[in-house]
Chain A
Amino acid sequence: MKKILVVDNHSMMLKFMSNLLEKEGHQVLTASDGLSALEILKTNIPDVIFADLIMPNIDGKKLCRIVRRIPKLKDVFVVILSAIAAEEEPHLDDYGADVCIAKGPFNKMARHVLLALELSDAEPTQRLKRRIIGRQELFKREITKELLASKRHFEATLNNIAEGILELTPELKIVDINPAALSIIGIPEETLLSSDFTKLFNEKHQKRIIDSFENPGNKQRIISPETPVELNNKQITLNVIPIKDDEHNPILVILKDVTQRKQMEAQLQHAQRMEAIGTLAAGVAHEINNPISGVMGYAEILKDRYQEQGRNDDIPNKIIKEAERIAEIVKNLLSFARGWHEESSPAHIKDIISNTLSMIKGRIAKDGIKLSVDVPDNLPDIKARSHEIQQVFLNILSNAHYGLNQRFPKANQDKSLEIESEVIKLEDQNYVRTTFCDCGTGIPKNILNKICDPFFSTKPPGNGTGLGLSISHGIIYNHGGKLLFESVEGEYTKVMVDLPAIG
């Protein structure tokens, strides 16, 4: 006695198969579509499955493919019951089916079904001899041919479209999914089919997803790019389209990955914010410059008068020194705001790195930091104002030096700093990327997008103005480049400086 699962959406066919197989002494389970079949297969391992090819809610082709991917079902003998076998030879290997029976008059079908059962007991080599049974006994049917052509066009479109498309039952179970959706979701098809769509999302977004399906009526529901939901670490928009079918009422869901778009919007917003801060800073700096000149001038006069009076008082010098500090900050602010307007000239990144290191190498060696530099000679030149790029590199190296000393106050084998340069291609333009990687304290995730803001600093008062990276950002931006950060708190910080290459 065999345990046999028959899957067909026609009740008459299910009855015929059940009668035939039970008369032969087999145990028969039935399902009216692929989705119900998968439910049965969760708790049953049949010896043979007979499956119709065209069915709602997961068709026979998809059901076979899933069955073959489930380890416990890999040895099940799968028979396709097909009306289209008369039109064209089904590609059984694509489906993972063992045999195909062409549907026809019941007397012939009965013979073929029993023959298929005999084959299920035969050695695999014997099975291969008769894989499509009953085809020669059927005549060509033009309607089916057209249905097949239309299905193929539809499948080709679905398989090549950039948007992810899923079909759900009214109970929100996934019954069809195209390759783009599989790639967005990142879960294998056999796991996704028949699973609950809403469970793909974390709790935070689940309520919004469920809301978008509630009482959809005939209306489309949209989760727009302004407030996307998160799925597989991607920002996703959803378009929920209920299909008013005469019986199944499926729901189509169109997924669109807008992660890149959101990142670009965030970058643009950041750039606009920086520009606004720059304009404000330039205005403030200009307004401060004049009174500071006045303060320094009056302090000089005071100093002269004290000398004339023979007073040995240090206060005027202290005023001058503090005013000079203010002037230095103002100068930095202005350079962040507008950059220098001198001409760029071709430069080699290796020279700039070498000049920068000559200024800081001594301090790095003194603190026991292992430095490794890998800058090939054959990199293309960049068009740059070298002293500005040097200023950026010095700033990055000073930060790395500070971070390393914070994490490892004494010598340590992990106290290392690496500098590498390479050529990369971004949107058809070659860039020279210089990466500074230190194993210092790292940057907490929640402040990573603030570190280029003017006056933002994590250093204690007196150890930094909070202008270094904002000035660096302005300089690299004015060079047509990019300043990028990657960091894991407590592990490492990677700063990447991308500058456009010449030629």
Chain B
Amino acid sequence: MNFRKLSKNLGLEEEEYIELFELFVETGMEDLNKLWFAIDIASTEKVASIAHSLKGASLNMGLNEFQEIAEAIGKTARDGQLEKTAKLAKILKEKLDNVAGVVGC
């Protein structure tokens, strides 16, 4: 993660960006747990709603890759392809775990 570049893009101090990023990861993890639950009970509406929240937060932080995965999660859920949704959720989880390690969450 190039925090310097990301924070510069958003006009924020690097320190402040990292502080927000930690909250992004923390909330993202919570959202992912809710997402697994929603996939388990096959609630496509709930999946779409959580994906929407994840996508919004990624957009705020200028994290395009996360934003695209979250968007795909919502789309596959709406199309009833929950297996694909679960795979995408797994990818998102791995990416979040990786960046969590970077900021020490």
Is B49 a contact partner of A147 (Cβ separation < 8 A)?
A: yes
Nearest B-chain residue to A14, judged by Cβ:
B23
Q: Is A105 positioned at the interface, with any CB of B under 8 Å from its CB?
A: yes
Q: Is A246 positioned at the interface, with any CB of B under 8 Å from its CB?
A: yes
Q: Is A179 positioned at the interface, with any CB of B under 8 Å from its CB?
A: no
Nearest B-chain residue to A9, judged by Cβ:
B53
A246, B55: Cα distance in complex, Å: 20
B105 to nearest A CB, angstroms? 13
Is B34 a contact partner of A247 (Cβ separation < 8 A)?
A: yes
Q: Is B26 positioned at the interface, with any CB of A under 8 Å from its CB?
A: yes
In this complex, how many residues of chain A approach chain B with their Cβ under 8 Å: the count is 24
Is A83 a contact partner of B20 (Cβ separation < 8 A)?
A: no
Interface residues of A in 239-267 (CB under 8 A from B): 246-247
Is A143 a contact partner of B59 (Cβ separation < 8 A)?
A: no
Known: A143-B78, A247-B34. A19 touches B23 (CB 8 A): no
Q: Which residues of A contact B20 (CB under 8 A)?
A: 12, 15-16, 106
A103, B57: Cα distance in complex, Å: 9
Is B52 a contact partner of A105 (Cβ separation < 8 A)?
A: no
Known: A83-B56, A104-B60. A15 touches B48 (CB 8 A): no
Is A104 a contact partner of B27 (Cβ separation < 8 A)?
A: no
A143, B76: Cα distance in complex, Å: 11
A249 to nearest B CB, angstroms? 13
Is A141 a contact partner of B27 (Cβ separation < 8 A)?
A: no
Nearest B-chain residue to A12, judged by Cβ:
B23
Interface residues of B in 1-18 (CB under 8 A from A): 9-12, 16
Q: Is A335 positioned at the interface, with any CB of B under 8 Å from its CB?
A: no
A442 to nearest B CB, angstroms? 60
Central interface residue in A11, A104, A106, A146, by most chain B CB within 10 Å = A106
A11, B29: Cα distance in complex, Å: 13
A355, B26: Cα distance in complex, Å: 89
B62 to nearest A CB, angstroms? 5
A304, B17: Cα distance in complex, Å: 124
Known: A107-B10, A246-B37. A141 touches B60 (CB 8 A): no
Is A12 a contact partner of B60 (Cβ separation < 8 A)?
A: yes
Known: A83-B52, A246-B34, A247-B34. A105 touches B19 (CB 8 A): no
Is A106 a contact partner of B19 (Cβ separation < 8 A)?
A: no
Q: Which residues of B contact A16 (CB under 8 A)?
A: 20, 60
Is A146 a contact partner of B27 (Cβ separation < 8 A)?
A: no
B4 to nearest A CB, angstroms? 15
A103, B16: Cα distance in complex, Å: 19
Offer 26 A-B interface pairs, CB within 8 angstroms, sorted by A.
A10-B27, A10-B57, A12-B20, A12-B27, A12-B57, A12-B61, A15-B19, A103-B59, A104-B59, A104-B60, A105-B9, A105-B10, A105-B59, A105-B60, A105-B62, A106-B12, A107-B62, A110-B11, A141-B55, A143-B55, A143-B78, A144-B52, A147-B52, A246-B34, A246-B38, A247-B34
Closest 10 CB pairs of A and B: A143-B74, A12-B23, A107-B11, A107-B10, A106-B10, A83-B56, A11-B23, A246-B37, A12-B24, A143-B52
